[in-house]
A and B are shown apart, each in its own frame.
Chain A
Amino acid sequence: MSFVETQKKPAEVIPAHPVVNDFSITVATINGTGSQTSNLTLLRALFKMGVPVSGKNLFPSNIQGLPTWYTIRVSKDGYLARTETTEVMVAMNAATFSKDQAEVTPGGVFFYADDFKQAITRDDIVSYPMPVKKLARESDAPSQLRDYVANMVYVGVLAQMIGIDVDTIQQALDFHFQGKEKPIALNFNIIEKAMAWAAENLVKSDPYHIEAMDATEGCIMTSGNTAGALGSIYGGIQFASWYPITPASSLAESLNQYLPQLRQDPETGENTYAVVQAEDELAAIGMAIGAGWGGLRALTSTSGPGISLMAEYAGLAYYAETPVVIWDVQRMGPSTGLPTRTSQGDINLTYYLGHGDTKHVLLLPGSANECFEFGWKAFDLADRLQTLVFVLSDLDLGMNQWMTTPFEYPDAEIDRGKVLWEEDVEKIEDWGRYLDIDGDGITYRTLPGNRHPRSGYFARGTGHDEHANYSEDPVDWERGMERLRSKFETARGMLPKPVIHTRSGAEIGVIAFGSTDPAVCEALDHLNDDGLAVDYLRLRALPVDEEVREFIRNHQRVYVVEMNHDGQLHQIISLEVPDRAIHLKSLTKNDGLPLSADWIRGAILDQERE
């Protein structure tokens, strides 16, 4: 069977049960061909139609030439997790044509570029050819841009066939090209041509439809990295040092984009911040810790390999008690691993980063909005605790576009913690940098530039006494470490509380964190439909506090769901509740793809049946 025959085959039956706003679209393209603009246009247009939608870029570590997939999920119920199925496939890559065709759910749709001389082998799906090359050639695009605009053909054909509103496409293009008329017109033109071609040449014979809703009203669409940068700006960031790494780079780039707009004096042009691109992660963390010690709200952003390099300095920040914030936008490890695939594999690494007895505070945002919120809160916590605070995002949360509630202005004043200036030092007779006056493990610090003759001290990673003098005295050492432990205990009560969802009659629970939240929520809804009520605790910080212990005590079994291979959070939590550890079950999946609700549901059912 040749593709020509398929094309001629008329549409047979329009299925009796249309599927509206509840399916997944996958676009198969080649990396570096500009398909990202087309995909984001589709995503944004759907969002503007009021349909809950999520988009995930499953891309290779490559600039140009390797296969890449973009999945869009539309869900009238508001489920935004990745699904295991593809109802609508758009095949724009000849190299993956067969694989992509095989991927389509029975009864699904297969759009494909008609210049691929490959056979349609499935008779249980509907296929539509698209004259991609022809329409691109006929467009008024300059020849060097033709490959890019060719991707707009599938936007137009898809829009026509599943019913995406042309006005919302226009809005999406307008946003993407920031109102620049020429590229907007160029792209819109070819979309319109493709729509017209589809209207004339294709007969709708599949069940998938988009209908406008009002379920995205009031929401915004953004990425976790953009949100994290903006949150940091509202947190009063004053210094950022960074080194490029996927998937964290766009956080620092967003700082560079938004800081001049939000933190520059409009009259003098003076900046209340500085951003330095460092020579490597060793220097990035060094600069940030220097700035934090100097009294600036300082941040660095990186991913796993960068965290490994930062280990030594992380220990110094812990022991010298220097505030600093590190964003770890996690990617798949160990080693270079899968640099463009998501994971939650740095929990253990960051929690204990550094040699000796080192432990850190971790914030675990579960949405783009929470990236904003923890962006500013991280600075308050770092200052108040005088320590390193990690914010653990991941590639999925950080780099993909998410619909989310709007950013909210911080509801608490900036809290710089226990800082003494000249007049404060004057009042205190016996000031010691590491002297615990309040009994909470948190001591008072002075900042360079304080001109009081008694304000200065020599910070160090070597052993020191309460007055920051070098000391190898066993008593001084143990006293210092014990105070650090008590500070860590104080931290438990200061961190964001977990979010707990309960269902009546639930005897088992799930603990999860971060970007898996949409998949967990959806899975638990389905399990409820299956007759299994499951409570859910979404962890938002480490170390845990009493609520987590109580949640575990109150359930017969608790599944710890996470995207790493070894069940790292499961290990950490088990240590917090040794008496209940055998009732904690680890459920892990770590294949580089965002978790799906189906997997979680299946994994819990498998365990419950045992």
Chain B
Amino acid sequence: MATQRTPKVNLVNLSKSDYRGAPTTLCQGCGHNSINSQIITACYELNILPEDIVKFSGIGCSSKSPTYFLERSFGFNSLHGRMPSLATGALFADTSLTGIAMSGDGDTISIGMGQFKHVMRRNVPMVYIVANNGVYGLTKGQFSATAEEGLALKGQGQNPYMPIDIVWEAVVGRATFVARSFAGDPKQVRELLKAALSHRGIAVLDIISPCVTFNNQDDAHHSYAWGRDHEVALHDLSYVPLAEEIMVDYDAGESKEVDMHDGSRIMLRKLESDYDPTDRSAILCMLEEANRQQELITGLIYIDTEQKSLFDLYNLPDEPLNRLPADRIRPRRETIDKVNAMMF
């Protein structure tokens, strides 16, 4: 006999199913599905109301994903490579909202490179996930700009071009939070998502997300097998929310704490004793070295919690702009004479 169970709820009284979306239409085993379920878990565990999140995406398999999580959230599936601009404008409407942007390697690094660079430069506060599989899935398996040189794909021959490293571009592009993970490492993805959701600024997450249909040969750099064999985690990562008592206890000298804008904290337990996620030039050297060694560095790679976010530059009222009444957005009647007097 089955026992009647009340569903578990979080602190905002929502069950995990309140964070779900429509059933996925992506391929079975797609890394993106795994990312989606970690977004659901992270938001549930952080007690974020779905109504406080706005989802954005461009075009591609990755960009279909926001349909499959946080159904109650607003979202906008925009244009190929042009999602950052739309998200920038939309978030101005109510800056208390948290943006989660879902993009892919084609959407971000090929057609969208320009907007990607500028959304980082402006430090638009949102989580920017690149589900990176090195291939164009929705158009049936062409090379993307992150595909490694020499990769052979069915019907495409060999990739003749050098790949672009998203993390490198993000660090150079002055993103204030840069991380990489692997869809096959759900715990790390989840902890990084939680940290990113607490970051006040652009948080770029390059998540290697194998395409089971078009790019999953064991020796392909965006495959599960290659990822598992070559992943080098920089550190163990623990995210400690503001409201939760800090239980984790790392030995001093072995861990580094990073205070987030909202008062929460992330702990990095170092595997490499001298790793400093705030030293950009050292990070670029490390990435270059890892590239030479064919290693996939994962973890929180760079963070800057000091840089002002875009919205901090505009001196906006506390009340969301999109709720301002008419009398606060139209100048008073008596101003019109002054304006006419300002003309010649």
Interface residues of A (CB under 8 A from B): 44, 47, 172, 175, 220-222, 226, 230, 233-239, 241, 258, 262-263, 265, 268-274, 276, 278-280, 282-298, 312-313, 316, 320, 401, 406-410, 413-414, 416, 446-453, 455-462, 469-470
B335 within 8 Å of A by Cβ? yes
* Also in contact, A238 and B329, with CB within 8 A (given A286-B85, A448-B94): yes
Contact yes or no, B336 A449, CB < 8 A: no
Which of B52, B55, B82, B84 counts the most A-chain CB atoms under 10 A from its CB?
B82
B74 within 8 Å of A by Cβ? yes
CB distance from B27 to the nearest CB of A (A): 17
* Also in contact, A294 and B50, with CB within 8 A (given A274-B314, A279-B115, A449-B97): no
B41 within 8 Å of A by Cβ? no
A210 to B251, CA, bound (A): 90
Chain A residues lying within 8 Å of B49, measured Cβ to Cβ, are: 451
A299 to B320, CA, bound (A): 18
CB distance from B21 to the nearest CB of A (A): 9
Chain A residues lying within 8 Å of B88, measured Cβ to Cβ, are: 276, 283, 286-287, 290
Chain A residues lying within 8 Å of B324, measured Cβ to Cβ, are: 238, 272
* Also in contact, A462 and B51, with CB within 8 A (given A271-B315, A272-B329): no
Categorize the interface residue count of chain B.
35 or more
B258 within 8 Å of A by Cβ? no
Chain B residues lying within 8 Å of A172, measured Cβ to Cβ, are: 344
B54 within 8 Å of A by Cβ? yes
* Also in contact, A460 and B321, with CB within 8 A (given A262-B335, A263-B329, A280-B114): no
6 contacts between A and B (CB under 8 A): A172-B344, A220-B344, A272-B329, A296-B93, A409-B336, A462-B77
* Also in contact, A449 and B322, with CB within 8 A (given A220-B340, A456-B72): yes
With A270-B316, A449-B322 given, name 5 new contacts (CB 8 A). A270-B315, A273-B329, A289-B86, A313-B79, A409-B333
A221 to B93, CA, bound (A): 35
Contact yes or no, A290 B86, CB < 8 A: yes
Contact yes or no, B340 A406, CB < 8 A: yes
B76 within 8 Å of A by Cβ? yes
Contact partner of B51 (CB less than 8 A), chosen from A283, A291, A294, A450, is A450
When C-beta atoms are compared, the residue in chain B nearest to A220 turns out to be B343
A453 to B51, CA, bound (A): 7
Contact yes or no, B76 A287, CB < 8 A: no
When C-beta atoms are compared, the residue in chain A nearest to B314 turns out to be A274
B153 within 8 Å of A by Cβ? no
B73 within 8 Å of A by Cβ? yes
A230 to B122, CA, bound (A): 27
A295 to B79, CA, bound (A): 19
| Contact residues, B63-101 vs A (CB, 8 A) | 66-67, 71-79, 82-94, 96-97
Which of A274, A279, A290, A295 counts the most B-chain CB atoms under 10 A from its CB?
A290
Contact yes or no, B340 A269, CB < 8 A: no
Contact yes or no, B329 A461, CB < 8 A: no
* Also in contact, A449 and B93, with CB within 8 A (given A236-B326, A263-B331, A409-B333): yes
Contact yes or no, A265 B317, CB < 8 A: yes
Chain B residues lying within 8 Å of A410, measured Cβ to Cβ, are: 330
A449 to B99, CA, bound (A): 12
When C-beta atoms are compared, the residue in chain B nearest to A262 turns out to be B331
B323 within 8 Å of A by Cβ? yes
Contact yes or no, A288 B315, CB < 8 A: no
